[in-house]
Amino acid sequence: MAWNTNLRWRLPLTCLLLQVIMVILFGVFVRYDFEADAHWWSERTHKNLSDMENEFYYRYPSFQDVHVMVFVGFGFLMTFLQRYGFSAVGFNFLLAAFGIQWALLMQGWFHFLQDRYIVVGVENLINADFCVASVCVAFGAVLGKVSPIQLLIMTFFQVTLFAVNEFILLNLLKVKDAGGSMTIHTFGAYFGLTVTRILYRRNLEQSKERQNSVYQSDLFAMIGTLFLWMYWPSFNSAISYHGDSQHRAAINTYCSLAACVLTSVAISSALHKKGKLDMVHIQNATLAGGVAVGTAAEMMLMPYGALIIGFVCGIISTLGFVYLTAASWVL
């Protein structure tokens, strides 16, 4: 009984504690950056900068698209698992809301320190959303196997490791990774798989059974899939250099994603006994086109280069989904 009562207070206390810590750390460390601070107004008269040139106008629309991807896209993507549809959306909301705060701090300490303050602007918000996207990818692997508290703990560690990993890749190894294929998606997927491996070696058969998709859930999952698919060009171009780089990153992603749909459909239909389409394949594989082109999105790939990436990726990821998922139940 006492133990039960204990359990009952764990989630509320964890949430409140984490939020109080966030408030204190933000109080000590976080300030606005130059373009969000009211002092901008007085300084711009010296520098002859117009309010219209504020970074906000060049980043905010992309930020909102990324925001939709994280909360609606990743949230609804997993609703195809009928049994977990609602937790998928709800828990994703909780972990993302905590994750973006912790990411603003962690990424700030590594990349945006000025004097002793982290300065935040719209670019930080995009980066925080990127970091949380990686947690959402990992979340897909552990859905239905973890409690909200475990998710918050996982988010805490993953965001921390994400920021360290990002620092090593971008600052120490000087790697270029525009769309974050390495820092976000690969990292997220492996982190998720590792967590699953640690948490669960048993009960796999049970889980498999619950992975059946049903009609209504599939329509909800398509909402997630489509918002991820549509806004991926924004994802890959959101923090590119202004001008032609950002323009090119959007075009390349658009082309790669379109190609990926056709090859995913082809492979999914070829692998089905009756030649039908399995929407779960398509939901997963079509997104691979965006991930694959991510790292190179702002390079001079040429539209046909982007199509080739999407083409190859649609094939590999559908095959991968079919054979590796099957294999993972055997292990």
Residues 145-164, interacting with its own copies (CB under 8 A): 148
The tokens describing 216, both together, are 């209504």
Q: Considering Cα of 300, then 302, then 307, then 312, what sign does the dihedral take? A: negative
Q: Does 259 bind its own copies (CB under 8 A)?
A: yes
* Contact pick of 1, 115, 201, 215 for its own copies (by CB under 8 A): 215
* Contact pick of 64, 160, 325, 328 for its own copies (by CB under 8 A): 64
Task: Please identify, among the stretches 14-22, 161-169, 175-183, 204-212, the one whose residues bind its own copies according to the rule CB under 8 A.
Answer: 14-22
Query: Tokens 């909402």 identify what position?
Result: 223
Residue closer to its own copies, measured from CB, 212 or 216:
216
- Total site size for its own copies, rule CB under 8 A: 113
**Minimal distance, residue 245 CB to its own copies, in Å:** 8
Residues 94-113, interacting with its own copies (CB under 8 A): 94, 97-98, 100-101, 104
The strand pair at 117-120 and 113-114 is best described as antiparallel
Q: How far apart are CA 78 and CA 198, in angstroms?
A: 21
Task: Please identify, among the stretches 178-186, 192-200, 204-212, 307-315, the one whose residues bind its own copies according to the rule CB under 8 A.
Answer: 307-315
Task: Please identify, among the stretches 85-93, 135-143, 161-169, 196-204, the one whose residues bind its own copies according to the rule CB under 8 A.
Answer: 85-93
Q: How far apart are CA 100 and CA 82, in angstroms?
A: 27
Q: Does 194 bind its own copies (CB under 8 A)?
A: no
Picking from 58, 69, 53, the residue whose alpha carbon sits closest to that of residue 233 is 69
Residue closer to its own copies, measured from CB, 104 or 154:
104
Task: Please identify, among the stretches 134-142, 160-168, 251-259, 321-329, the one whose residues bind its own copies according to the rule CB under 8 A.
Answer: 251-259
Q: Does 235 bind its own copies (CB under 8 A)?
A: no
- Phi, psi angle pair for 201, to nearest 5°: -115, -20
Picking from 286, 281, 274, 280, the residue whose alpha carbon sits closest to that of residue 311 is 286
**Minimal distance, residue 189 CB to its own copies, in Å:** 23
Q: Which residues of 282-314 are buried (b: 16+ CB within 10 A; e: fewer)?
A: bbbbbbbbbbbbbbbbbbebeeebbbbbbbbbb
